[in-house]
Structure 1
Amino acid sequence: MDGIVGGIGYFNAVLVFCILVYVHEMGHYLVARLCGVRIEVFSIGFGRELFGWTDGHGTRWKFSIVPLGGYVRMFGEHSMEDVQGDTGRAVTEEEQKVSFDHKSLAQRAAIVFAGPAANFIFAIFVMALLFGNAGLREPQDIADYGIGAIVESSPADEAGLQEGDKILSVDGREIGDWDGFVESIRGSDGRELIVKISRDGQTATKYLTPRFNEEIQAFAIGVHRPFQVVTFGPIDSLVMATERTWDYSILTLTSIGEIFTGSRSLDDMGGPVKIVDMSNQVAQRGALDLIVFVAVLSINLGLLNLLPVPMLDGGHLLFYAIEAVRRKPLGEKAQEYLLRGGLAVLLLVMVIVMQNDIVQLLKEHGVI
Structure 2
Amino acid sequence: MTTIIAFILMFGLLVFVHEFGHFYVAKKTGMLVREFAIGFGPKVFSIVKNETLYTIRLLPMGGYVRVAGEDPEIIDIKPGQHIGLTFNNDGEVNQIIVNNKAKHPDAFIIEVEHIDLDHNLTIEGYEIDEEKKYSFRVNEKADFIMDERSTQIAPYNRQFGSKSVGQRALQLFAGPLMNFVLTIVIFIVLANIQGVPVDDVRIGSVVNDSPAQEAGLQANDTVIGIEGTSISSWDEFQEIVQSSPNESLEMTVLRNDEEVAVEVTPAAVETAEDTIGQVGVTLALEKSFLRAIPYSLEETYRWSTLILTNVTKLITGQFSIDVLSGPVGIYDATDQVVKTGLMNFMTWTAVLSVNLGIMNLLPLPALDGGRLIFVGLEAVRGKPIDPQKEGIVHFIGFALLMLLMIVVTWNDIQRLFL
With the length of structure 1 as denominator, give the TM-score of the two structures: 0.73
2-side partners of 1:277 and 1:153: how far apart? 30
Greater relative contact order structure (CA < 8 Å, 6+ sep): 1
2:178 to 115, 118, 123: 118
1:73 aligned to which of 66, 73, 76 = 66
Deviation at 1:99, TM superposition (A): 2.7
Q: Name the residue aligned to 1:53.
A: 47
TM-superposed deviation, 1:64: 1.8
Distance 1:15 1:162, change over 3 A: same
**Residues 156-179 of structure 1: CA deviation (Å, up to 9, x unaligned):** 889999767999xxxxx9999855
Partner of 1:105: 164
Alignment of 1:229-308 (within 5 A): 229-233=286-290, 236-308=291-363
1:19 is displaced (CA, Å) by 0.6
* Deviation of the 1:217 alpha carbon: 6.9
Say whether the 8 Å CA contact 2:206–2:282 is kept in structure 1: no
* One-letter amino acid of the structure 2 residue matched with residue 79 of structure 1: P
Q: C-alpha distance in 2, partners of 1:185/1:82?
A: 69
**8 Å Cα contact 2:67-2:160 kept in structure 1:** no
> Contact conserved, 2:32 with 2:68, CA < 8 A, in 1?
yes
Q: CA deviation at 1:140?
A: 5.5
Deviation at 1:273, TM superposition (A): 2.1
Give the whole-Å Cα distance in 1 for the aligned partners of 2:168 and 2:407: 32
Deviations, residues 125-182 of structure 1 (Å, cap 9, x unaligned)? 32233334542133764xxx6x654556878889999767999xxxxx9999855994
Deviation at 1:293, TM superposition (A): 1.7
Over 3 Å counting, the alpha-carbon distance change for 1:257 and 1:58 in structure 2 is: same
With 242-251 and 174-183 compared, the bigger mean Cα shift is at 174-183
Counterpart CA distance in 2 for 1:151 and 1:277 is 27
* Counterpart code for 2:72: S
Equivalent residue for 2:85? none
**Equivalent residue number for residue 170 of structure 1:** none
Q: Which residue of 1 aligns with 2:9?
A: 15
| 8 Å Cα contact 2:204/2:285 also seen in 1 | no
Matches of 2:44 and 2:175 in 1, distance apart?
A: 24
Which of the two has greater strand per residue? 2
The superposition leaves residues 67-90 of structure 1 with CA deviations (integer Å, 9 ceiling, x where unpaired) of 221112223432269858996974
Secondary structure at the counterpart of residue 291 of structure 1: helix
Specify the alignment match of 1:309 in structure 2.
Answer: 364
Shift of 1:18: 0.7
Match of 2:189? 129
Q: Which moved more, 1:295-304 or 1:351-360?
A: 351-360
- Once residues 283 and 304 of structure 2 are traced to their aligned partners in structure 1, the CA distance between those partners, rounded to angstroms, is 28
How many matched pairs? 343
- Partners of 1:83 and 1:90 within 8 A in 2: no
For residue 282 of structure 2, give the secondary structure of its aligned residue in structure 1: coil
- Please tell me whether the aligned partners of residues 362 and 368 of structure 2 are also in contact (alpha carbons under 8 angstroms): yes
Shifted more, 58-67 versus 220-229: the winner is: 220-229
Q: 8 Å contact 2:304–2:355 — kept in the other structure?
A: yes
Give the drift of 1:102.
4.7
CA distance 1:319–1:104, change in 2 (3 Å): same
Is the counterpart of residue 323 in structure 1 residue 349 in structure 2? no
What SS class does the counterpart of residue 346 from structure 1 fall into? Answer: helix
In 2, the alpha carbon distance for the partners of 1:103 and 1:155 equals: 66
Structure 2 unpaired stretches of 5+: 78-95, 100-114, 122-139, 141-152, 232-236
**CA distance in 2 between partners of 1:182 and 1:100 (Å):** 59
Q: Secondary structure at the match of 1:186?
A: coil
Contact kept, 8 Å, 2:60 with 2:327, in 1: the verdict is no
Aligned to 2:144: none
**Are positions 1:91 and 2:117 aligned together?**
yes
Structure 1: distance between partners of 2:169 and 2:305: 23
Moved more, 272-281 or 28-37: 272-281
Q: Distance in 1 between matches of 2:286 and 2:382?
A: 55
Cα deviation, 1:225-284, whole Å, max 9, x if unaligned, reads 342324231xx4333333332332232222211211123333322222221122222222
- The gaps in structure 1 that reach 5 residues or longer are 1-6, 168-172
| Aligned pairs for 1:152-231 within 5 A | 179=238, 182=241, 186-187=245-246, 218=275, 223-231=280-288
Contact 2:246 2:267 in 1 (8 A): no
Question: Partners of 2:228 and 2:283 in 1: how far apart?
Answer: 19
**Cα 1:66–1:152 shift into 2, 3 Å:** farther
Closer, same or farther: CA 298–240 of 1 in aligned 2, 3 Å: same
How far, CA to CA, are the matches of 2:168 and 2:228 in structure 1?
A: 64
- State the match for 2:27 in structure 1: 33
Structure index of larger Rg: 2
One-letter code aligned to 1:58: E
SS in 2 for 1:225: strand
> What is the distance in 1 between the residues matched to 2:45 and 2:355?
29
Structure-2 residue corresponding to 1:24:
18
Q: In the alignment, does 2:401 pair up with 1:346?
A: yes
**Aligned alpha-carbon RMSD (Å):** 4.3
2:185 aligns to what SS in structure 1?
Answer: helix
Q: Return the alpha-carbon distance in structure 2 between the equivalents of residues 242 and 332 of structure 1.
A: 38
